[in-house]
Amino acid sequence: MLDFDLDGLAAYCEGLGEKRFRATQLFRWIHQKGAADFGAMTDLAKSLRDKLAGVAEVRPLPVATEQASADGTIKWLFDVGGGNAVESVFIPEDDRGTLCISSQAGCAVGCRFCSTGHQGFSRNLTTGEILAQLWYAEHHLRQRLKLAPGERAITNVVMMGMGEPLQNYSALVPALKAMLDDHGYGLSRRRVTVSTSGVVPMMDRLREDCPVALAVSLHAPTDALRDDLVPLNKKYPLAELMAACRRYLEAAPRDFITFEYCMLDGVNDSDDQARQLLALVNGRGAGGTERVPCKFNLIPFNPFPESGLLRSPRERVMAFGKVLQDGGVVTTIRKTRGDDIDAACGQLAGEVQDRTRAAQRMKRLPIQVVAARPDGTPKTH
Ligand code: SAH
Ligand code: SF4
């Protein structure tokens, strides 16, 4: 039952000979009230409840582990079968509760600085598996945090867990629609964010099918460097990505794109590179890009040994942010949360049966000198 948006559930119910309003009632029981037992859905006809019990189920994902950080962050590892597990993270703040959700077991993009990318790709999650993360977290947290009836635990969802959401498009869109639906989680489009490494054709489709807030993982101001850090750049280079961002904004619920930028010591964190970024987003970059209204979110790199990369020093991140800010681009530095439970960005590893041999591929990557230290000596990884 978690596999459907409301239209999908209505079609399913129609197949059982039921009217659409029954699907709406069912959808509300499942997503608004967190019911898993058809018998408890008291305003549905007994005959329908019995019918559903015979053919359908609300199937939660088994929780393999739960870890709670001193700062209130909670991380769940969900077992998705076949030796695969994915992670979700709840991040409470004063004025909101954000859930970071996974879209795939592993990821095929293979970014150099990402622990999920180093694990390779196993499989896409289904809509039901994407929504089960939100369903579980919302209803579990309402009890755990002793919320008043009608109060929501999760006010924002970010598709920033494991996987590239736009490479699992057909499962993603119904999940997003259930998040937005007033009979579902009722989240506004501005409070649901899809983060992508830049799957250009799917950005265009998302704009048509289900425009929500968009974050684009940029990480480099030039194609040469981005090719190395985010291999998908070879397919969709920066000029195309910038053009797709501009097109997306025509229908987006926010009037800016959030560019995520993971700060890697000596690789992408120089003042010159910040100036190149300004040129890129202001429409003076290579490839004749046009201006993209945007904000930058600088993410201190969360290191893991196999990456061979280091986190930029705090002062470097500040200085880099200042160049962007002085250049007229609103820039924030992401607070690191849940560090003590490995719940910070890019640390979500889950367990994945790597079908793509990513680890071997990464080992074979040529060691590249991608930047120089401030004293001019080359920095290798
Ligand atoms: N695949 C999507 C969404 C998941 S990754 C994407 O790449 O956008 C979510 C964010 O975490 C991305 O911006 C990604 O670049 C960032 N990230 C990945 N590994 C990281 C690490 N080790 N340290 C900091 N941020 C990281
Ligand atoms: Fe995949 Fe995103 Fe990690 Fe890149 S950063 S490997 S796209 S999850």
Angle formed at CA 34 by CA 32 and CA 38, multiple of 5 degrees: 110
pLDDT of residue 366: 47
Q: Where are the beta strands (DSSP E) in the chain?
A: 63-68, 74-81, 84-93, 96-100, 104-106, 121-124, 156-159, 192-196, 213-217, 257-263, 294-300, 331-333, 371-372, 378-379
245 is catalytic: no
- For a mutational test of ligand 2's pocket, the pick from 89, 111, 162, i.e. the residue with the most ligand atoms closer than 8 A to its C-beta, is 111
| CB-based contacts of 288, cutoff 8 Å, min separation 6 | 239
Distance of CA 210 to the CA centre of its chain: 15
| Mean pLDDT value of segment 70-82 | 94
Please name the amino acid found at residue 7: D
Q: How confident is the model at residue 370 (pLDDT cuts 50, 70, 90)?
A: very low
| Mean pLDDT value of segment 69-79 | 94
pLDDT of residue 290: 77
% residues pLDDT > 70 (the chain)? 91
Q: Answer yes or no: is pLDDT of 261 > 70.
A: yes
Q: How confident is the model at residue 205 (pLDDT cuts 50, 70, 90)?
A: very high
Calculate how far, in angstroms, residue 49's C-alpha sits from the geometric centre of ligand 1: 43
Q: How confident is the model at residue 347 (pLDDT cuts 50, 70, 90)?
A: low
Calculate how far, in angstroms, residue 200's C-alpha sits from the geometric centre of ligand 1: 17
pLDDT of residue 336: 76
pLDDT of residue 287: 59
Q: Which of 225, 249, 234 is nearest to 370 (CA)?
A: 225
Catalytic residue among 87, 129, 138, 164: 87
Name every protein residue with a CB atom under 6 angstroms from any ligand 1 atom.
Answer: 113-115, 160, 164, 195-197, 217, 260, 262, 299, 301-302, 345-346
Calculate how far, in angstroms, residue 217's C-alpha sits from the geometric centre of ligand 1: 7
pLDDT digits 0-9 by tens, 91-127: 999 999 999 999 999 999 999 999 999 989 999 999 9
87 lines ligand 2 (CB under 6 A): no
Q: Answer yes or no: is pLDDT of 354 > 90.
A: no
13 is catalytic: no
Q: How far apart are CA 332 and CA 358, in angstroms?
A: 32
Q: How confident is the model at residue 42 (pLDDT cuts 50, 70, 90)?
A: very high
pLDDT of residue 365: 59
| Mean pLDDT value of segment 36-49 | 93
pLDDT of residue 76: 96
With beta carbons less than 8 A apart as the criterion, state whether 23 and 12 touch. Answer: yes
pLDDT of residue 369: 36
| CB-based contacts of 199, cutoff 8 Å, min separation 6 | 164, 166, 167, 232, 236
Ramachandran area for residue 78 (φ above 0: left; ψ -120 to 50: alpha; else beta):
beta
Q: Answer yes or no: is pLDDT of 316 > 50.
A: yes
| Mean pLDDT value of segment 23-29 | 97
pLDDT of residue 127: 98
pLDDT digits 0-9 by tens, 319-333: 999 999 999 999 999
Q: How confident is the model at residue 368 (pLDDT cuts 50, 70, 90)?
A: very low
- The count of residues in the chain is 381
Q: Answer yes or no: is pLDDT of 79 > 50.
A: yes
Residue, of 32 and 361, whose pLDDT is higher: 32
pLDDT of residue 157: 98
Please state, rounded to an integer, the average pLDDT across all residues of the chain.
91
350 lines ligand 2 (CB under 6 A): no
pLDDT digits 0-9 by tens, 142-175: 999 999 988 999 999 999 999 999 999 999 999 9
pLDDT digits 0-9 by tens, 235-249: 999 999 999 999 999
Q: How confident is the model at residue 373 (pLDDT cuts 50, 70, 90)?
A: very low
Q: How confident is the model at residue 304 (pLDDT cuts 50, 70, 90)?
A: confident
